[in-house]
Amino acid sequence: MLMTATVGVATALAANPSTVPLATFEAVLARHDSATRALEEWCGRRRIATPAIIRAQSLGTSTGRASAQVRKRLGVDARDAVAIRHVRLSCGDKALSIAWNWYVPARLTPEMRDALRTTDTPFGKVVAALAFRRVPLPTVPGRADTCPAGTISTHRARLLLPDGKPLAYVIECYTAANLAAN
């Protein structure tokens, strides 16, 4: 089934690369545990930028307070540190996503924590060695309350470590730039 979906996406992109339906974009997102990997594939196939490298521009980070709902999704209590990374994920000069990523710093290596604080490397790339898997939560067509205007699709997910412990909870607001003619 994955091969059929991959061929379908490639066929749709080749047939008319300037107008791509949202469903084609959603199929690429659904294939990956990492949004970063999905956006890199999308950026490359759509020729949004060459090379197709996703950068995370910080829109703010913090540690400490997280809502009870976020803490529950992360499997931590009020004593555990929770960090948030709010970023714009871009390929070339196109912003493809605005994302909030709450994560448990204690479940990362010191090098990973440092990279998240000091570089423009996306979360998914920084923590890839942890072999996390994505558990999608319901997708909102268009803009959810927390997303900026122009959002075409809002995704929420939990990222789990191989032992089942939650690593992160994410909200991703995908922009119209993903479907625009290039």
Question: Each residue of 67-122: pLDDT tens digit?
Answer: 999 999 999 998 899 999 999 999 999 999 999 999 999 999 999 999 999 999 99
Q: Is residue 1 part of a domain?
A: no
Domain holding 121: CATH number?
A: 3.40.1410.10
pTM score, two decimals?
Answer: 0.84
Band (pLDDT 50/70/90 cuts) for residue 27 is: very high
Q: What is the pLDDT of residue 5?
A: 40
Question: Can you tell me the distance from the alpha carbon of 9 to that of 11, in angstroms, rounded to the nearest whole number?
Answer: 5
| Nearest in space to 28 (alpha carbons), one of 51, 12, 48 | 12
Question: Can you tell me the distance from the alpha carbon of 84 to that of 152, in angstroms, rounded to the nearest whole number?
Answer: 23
Q: Is residue 46 part of a domain?
A: no
Band (pLDDT 50/70/90 cuts) for residue 156 is: very high
Count of structural domains within the chain = 1
Q: Is residue 173 part of a domain?
A: yes
Residue pair 81/105 in contact (Cβ under 8 Å)? The answer is yes
Query: Residue 128: CA atoms inside 13 Å, Cβ hemisphere, count?
Result: 10
pLDDT at 11 over 60: no
Q: Is residue 113 part of a domain?
A: yes
Q: Is residue 48 part of a domain?
A: no
pLDDT at 15 over 50: no
Residue with tokens 């997102």: 29
Q: What is the pLDDT of residue 135?
A: 96
Domain that holds residue 164: 55-178
Q: Is residue 38 part of a domain?
A: no
pLDDT at 16 over 70: no
Q: Is residue 59 part of a domain?
A: yes
Q: Is residue 16 part of a domain?
A: no
